[in-house]
Amino acid sequence: MVSVLLREGLGSLVEADPHIHKTFEIQRYSGNLLEKTKGQIGFIRNLRKEKFDLALDLRLDDRGAYMAFLTGAPIRVSAVDRTSVWRNWLFTNIIEPSVIAERAPGAADQSLRIVREFGIETGDPTPKLWVPEETDERVRRLLDQEGVPAAGRWVSINPFARWPYKEWDYEKWIQIIDWLWKEHKIATVIVGSSEEAKSAAYIMGRSCGDVFNLAGKTTLGELAGLLSLSLLHIGVDSAAPHIAAALGAPTVTIYGPTIWEEWAPPGALHGVITPDRDCAPCHEKGCDGSGVSKCLEEMTVEKVRGAIQEFLSIHKVPIHRGA
């Protein structure tokens, strides 16, 4: 049996996966130091009660190392971290990462390379997500309440990323939304977190297209249900394209400094738009660590619009030309 350890709030993404026995969410406990400590100790005890045989750390960071060790599993596996020797000591088996040139595209391959060391292969490297029937029903009710057109007549757009240096200018997104409506009569549903709802409202308020702001109005599980109904998901380097891809929805994603070959969902259904600059991708947090990516600032609406149009045409996405 397989159990999954996740950050708080992520469990709804995998609750319908038939392969998962249990999900454990790392919570942020409230109260004073003693109360927080008691909560954390209780959580660790619950993990250890499962008596796991094997712990696979796919996060490749300090928290993943701590938690893998605290499960008490006799076999603990992760990829090598050359910048932190002590982290490697918390595992019984350390996997050497494969050479980038030999790696298959897609973020999932970074995790699959670990399980492959055990002779476990998956025919399709694309992750799969399932949307529970009750979640699908909630999403359809929400879309109906918001006045969103029937499935197949709208795209989802997520202009937001955790890091601003991965974002594209909101004013340019407004032009894309207007073009989709004027040229193709395709409406736009903006998705994002509650923290991004204000920015989504700004984009919606300045758009002349048929646009709906659902940022902050869904749980993560409901977001998955929404993306599964989208004609196409368009966005930046964030979680949304990966969720959409795992549900079989086509995606077009804008990448800047990120090495897109390592992260973009693989397959013909998933397009990427990359900068024209020779220095990109640089894998930096903005130019010279400034938090601002000139390669994205310079990316034109025409380039993005052309890539979306080409994708729609190649994949024969059903569209209706505007007058």
Residue 55: strand, helix, or coil: strand
For 138-181, the pLDDT digits (tens) are 999 999 999 998 877 899 999 999 999 999 999 999 999 999 99
Select the more confidently predicted residue: 93 or 105. 93
Tell me how far apart the alpha carbons of residues 4 and 40 are, in angstroms, rounded to a whole number.
17
Question: In CATH, what is the architecture of 2-116?
Answer: 3-Layer(aba) Sandwich (3.40)
Is a pLDDT exceeding 90 seen at residue 194?
yes
What's the pLDDT at 105? 56
Comparing 311 with 317, the larger pLDDT belongs to 311
Rounded distance, CA 268 to CA 278, Å?
Answer: 25
Residue 9's pLDDT band (boundaries 50, 70, 90)? confident
Q: Is the dihedral of CA 119, 123, 128, 130 positive or negative?
A: negative
Question: For 202-217, how does the pLDDT look when each residue is reduced to its tens digit (9 = 90+)?
Answer: 999 999 989 999 999 9
Q: Which fold has domain 133-314?
A: Rossmann fold (3.40.50)
Which one is predicted more confidently, 52 or 312?
52
CB atoms within 10 A of CB 195: 10
Buried b (16+ CB within 10 A) or exposed e, 285-304: bbbeeeeebbbbeebebebb
pLDDT above 50 (res 85): yes
Q: Is the pLDDT of residue 319 over 60?
A: no
Kindly give, in sequence order, each residue whose CB lies less than 8 Å from that of residue 156, ignoring residues fewer than 6 positions away: 188, 189, 190, 191, 226, 227, 230, 232, 233, 234, 235, 240, 244
Point out the least confidently predicted range of 252-256, 266-270, 274-278. 266-270
**Helix ranges, 90-238 (H):** 108-116, 133-146, 170-184, 197-206, 220-229
pLDDT at 103: 45
pLDDT at 78 over 70: yes
| pLDDT of amino acid 110 | 72
Domain boundaries, the chain: 2-116, 133-314
Summarize the confidence of residues 235-258 as an average pLDDT.
Answer: 93
The DSSP letter of residue 265 is P
- Give the highest mean pLDDT range of 39-48, 98-107, 311-320: 39-48
Percent of the chain with pLDDT over 70: 94
pLDDT in tens, 94-103: 887 654 444 4
